[in-house]
Amino acid sequence: MVKGACECGAITYEMGAELGPVTACHCSQCRKISGHFTAATPAPIEAVAIKGEVRWYRSSQRAQRGFCPTCGSYLFWEEFDGLLYLMAGAFEAPTGLQMDGHIYYGDKGDYYEVRDGLPRYQTGRKSQVIKD
């Protein structure tokens, strides 16, 4: 069972389901909300048991982001597709997870490059892969 929490511990959560791979998102919303890019993994929303009061921010017509109202930790992303995308940095170690790629790499900040050999998609996973 994978467990996670915000920085102050006011929100904790655990999953009884197997998690998917971690994906890095470089879109401008993720960069602004986190200060860099984000790394998240999907889980069926019904498999995530959350304790504590999550504050939700509707960041677009198709998604919302969940935060701790006390410490401000960004914990969740939801697209109303039955999945909750969990920020990988909030998990307790060990997770056993692996990163599988980068999405919205075409929107990344101009101050860094990623050279880990994983696919870098221009936008979403069905878009063009960026080659060196």
Those residues whose C-beta lies under 8 Å from the C-beta of residue 127, and which sit 6 or more positions away, are 121
**What integer pLDDT is reported at residue 11 of this predicted model?**
98
Task: Tell me the three state secondary structure of residue 33.
Answer: helix
Predicted confidence (pLDDT) at residue 126 exceeds the cutoff of 90: no
Q: From CA 99, how far away is CA 75, in angstroms rounded?
A: 17
pLDDT digits 0-9 by tens, 43-69: 999 999 999 999 999 988 989 999 999
Chosen CATH of 2-20+37-97 out of 2.170.150.70, 2.60.120.620, 3.90.1310.10, 3.40.50.300:
2.170.150.70
Please determine, for residue 131, whether its predicted confidence score (pLDDT) is greater than 90.
Answer: no
95 and 57 in contact (C-beta within 8 Å)?
A: no
What pLDDT is attached to residue 5?
Answer: 98
Domain ranges of the chain: 2-20+37-97
Q: Summarize pLDDT for 10-43 with one digit per residue, the tens.
A: 999 999 878 889 999 999 999 999 999 999 999 9
- pLDDT recorded at residue 16: 83
What's the predicted TM-score (pTM) here? 0.90
Of 11, 14, 41, 10, which Cα lies nearest the Cα of 25? Answer: 41
